[in-house]
Chain A
């Protein structure tokens, strides 16, 4: 048993310096996921704000109507077309002239994720009691200020679990990046499998994703803890306030 594992490890990792290929595959998987996540967050937040603003305004202006229609169409299209097909459309049509497969993958996965993230954000914003925005607006804050300082901080906290889900899906979805000629972890596994003529590299691929996801889950838990600070008795500012003499020592 041990012998089988060590010999597999030797063939898959050590021989011919194959660990270098794994490392570069891992780097690609992580960077594509990371930048796609940023693109997705930005696109998702923008789409969500367009839709929420449209839904909450009694008489939306023409630009907002157009933006809202576009957002709805975009979300339907992304959700209705398989990711592999989207990736190929990016690679063979939209960015056919580009040889930068990293860029292609980042945009394809990012804009895909954006559609899902926008729905997560939208649900998060909708979960905040109407009284919150009323309180903000009654103080004289603008719609944007209320959104930024009052609604979004609470909404983001509420959608963190759903958002963690999306993050994990995104990481795993990048495993089809090979279709766009990107040597990510999965693709490296395939290449090495073609040389070892056995399924051992597949187990390594599986193990790598599993470990990455476990790590992500850990990160998300830490973020949830950090954002749950308002459930605790007092916040950080107390020390600062005491120094200024604004709060009594109890």
Chain B
């Protein structure tokens, strides 16, 4: 579904990604872990061009999108990829339901009535139907992140990207967000997830990538990854975090 070839990214003189080659298949749940500064968020953000790559190719269903910079192509590419951020980034001046319907209506993906019905259905699914008219300021962190997830889902994306979705949450709210992400995974959504939740990575991931210093150092399916790490860097990292 997404094929990345020789992807590199420099911020001025700082080389954050040093040639990434990777293929993400339809329905896969790819979890990226690694120390901070390893380039995992940058890699994720390159996939929907929130960061513009400085080299390499990103083939999305065969179409090389790496060079898209502005206008229709760029926005159309982003519309098919949902993104969830560490700090939720709900729109505080809009009610919960308006947060969800804004993009589908503005981008003429659906009529206002359809978008409202769809948003109500999504909210019902995450048990927040009665919060539809509330403003985000009145929600808990976990509720905010769940709304942010369904806001992305409302665009009916083909892939979901999660950038440390639980890092800013109070511990008791991590579970409800992970449950929702897990449900999406079970439904077959293709997803790429950057996280520090090792237990969750093991449970949900179909494949785990370990990044360090701008490269994918090692990857494997979860059981092998955690029980039989090959490279010293990963052994060292796992010894510290698990």
Residues of A within 8 A of B (CB): 58, 129, 131-132, 134-142, 145, 149-150, 153-154, 157, 229-235, 237-238, 241, 244, 246-248, 250
Contacts and interface: CB of A to CB of B under 8 A. Distances in A.
A134 B171 CA distance: 26
Contacts of B93: 153-154, 157, 230
Contact of A246 (B50, B76, B117, B152): B117
Interface of B: 48, 50, 52, 71, 75-76, 78-79, 81-83, 85, 87, 89-95, 97-98, 102-103, 106-107, 116-117, 119-120, 129-130, 132-135, 137-138, 148, 151-152, 155
Contacts of A132: 89, 91
Given A157-B93, A244-B116, A138 B78 contact: yes
B135 A145 contact: no
Instruction: Pick the 3 closest A-B CB pairs, nearest first.
Output: A140-B79, A238-B133, A135-B89
Nearest to B133: A238
19 contacts: A58-B52, A129-B89, A132-B91, A138-B78, A138-B81, A139-B78, A140-B75, A140-B78, A140-B79, A141-B75, A149-B106, A230-B92, A233-B134, A233-B135, A235-B133, A237-B95, A241-B133, A246-B97, A248-B129
Given A132-B89, A139-B79, A235-B133, 13 more contacts: A138-B48, A141-B103, A145-B106, A149-B106, A154-B92, A230-B93, A230-B94, A230-B137, A231-B137, A235-B135, A237-B98, A244-B116, A250-B130
Contacts of A247: 120, 129-130, 132-133
B144 to A, nearest CB: 12
Contacts of B138: 233-234
Contact of B83 (A138, A153, A229, A233): A138
Nearest to A61: B70
A161 to B, nearest CB: 17
Contacts, number: 109
A246 B120 contact: yes
Nearest to B103: A139
Nearest to A140: B79
Contacts of A150: 91, 102
A234 B107 contact: no
A203 B82 CA distance: 64
A241 B85 contact: no
